[in-house]
Amino acid sequence: MEELLRRSEKLTTVGQLAAGVAHEIRNPLTTLRGFLQLQQEKKVLVPLHIELMLSELERINLIVSEFLILAKPQAVHFQQKDVRHILSDVISLLDSQAHLFGIEFDTRFSEHPAIVHCEENQLKQVFINIVKNAIEAMPEGGTITLTQHVVENSVVIVISDEGEGVPEDMLPKLGEPFFTNKESGTGLGLMVSQRIIQAHKGSMEIQSEFGLGAEVTIRLPAGQSINEERSEE
Ligand code: ADP
Ligand code: MG
């Protein structure tokens, strides 16, 4: 059974998000304080405790860095960029990680430039988040297919994998902040991606058949050059 998700209605307000972050960071902080107090009072910490403390710290670090992507201090810089180049960059970046798991990339891009008006680094981050999820869903290897084409005035990017897929009852939860089924996941990747795509006036959908894989479709308004080409036709 196939299901289509539109997460835009579900986006939480900034206040709810902030409360979520505070909550998620407080848990590892409480653990860290517990261990430190134990050490102060009884001097009983062993290497295993230190290891746990480090992984709690790493968790805080991950949560904070995912949020920094949204709250970029430097001015957001929109430019006309070819999506094909951004996708190629992302593939080169993740190629060696994918190969470790026996994963190959199959790319099918349009022959013509696919220009979008975008903040390149943020868009790159979106594709990284999605391809990483695909890699993490395929521990036994397989193919990740990246398709890109131009329809009407939209640039459409489809990223599909042959991984474990998403159980039907879990589909509505995807993109909720902190929803994750991974031991060391933050559950922020899809939410952050969704917000970035919204800021680009685009849309993002996930479809999945449990056991067969997942497919993420992103639509972005086509940038100036494509419109110009069209009006010249
Ligand atoms: P994280 O990767 O830290 O768990 P995300 O927001 O990136 O957080 O993803 C949230 C959840 O959505 C994942 O934990 C996983 O359960 C599910 N998910 C996302 N992408 C895929 C995919 N390609 N295949 C299967 N499940 C996925
Ligand atoms: Mg992720």
In three-state secondary structure terms, 157 is strand
Look at residue 6 and tell me whether its pLDDT is greater than 70: no
* 105-132 residue pLDDT tens: 999 999 999 999 999 989 999 999 999 9
In three-state secondary structure terms, 199 is helix
In this structure, the chain runs to a length of 233
Question: How far is Cα 10 from Cα 18, in angstroms, rounded to an integer?
Answer: 16
Beta bridge partners of 219: 156, 203
Question: How far is Cα 66 from Cα 218, in angstroms, rounded to an integer?
Answer: 20
Q: 36 C-alpha vs ligand 1 centroid, how far in Å?
A: 33
Name the band, by pLDDT with cuts 50, 70 and 90, for residue 14. low
pLDDT of residue 225: 55
Nearest C-alpha neighbor of 150 from the set 197, 109, 105: 109
Whether 166 and 182 have beta carbons less than 8 Å apart is answered as no
pLDDT of residue 74: 56
In three-state secondary structure terms, 158 is strand
pLDDT of residue 226: 44
* 127-159 residue pLDDT tens: 999 999 999 999 999 999 999 999 989 999 999
Closest CA to ligand 1's atom 25: 165
Q: 173 C-alpha vs ligand 1 centroid, how far in Å?
A: 10
Q: Rounded to two decimals, what is the model's pTM?
A: 0.83
Q: Is 180 in the pocket of ligand 1 (CB under 6 A)?
A: yes
Instruction: State phi, psi for 134 to the nearest 5 degrees.
Output: -65, -45
Question: How far is Cα 167 from Cα 118, in angstroms, rounded to an integer?
Answer: 33
Instruction: Check if the interface score ipTM surpasses 0.95.
Output: yes
From the CB of residue 141, how many other CB atoms can be counted at a distance below 10 Å?
A: 15
Residue 214: partners with Cβ closer than 8 Å, 6 or more residues away: 133, 134, 137, 160, 161, 163, 165, 166, 206, 207, 208
Look at residue 81 and tell me whether its pLDDT is greater than 60: yes
Question: Best of 133, 136, 145, 169 to mutate for ligand 1, by most ligand atoms within 8 A of CB?
Answer: 133
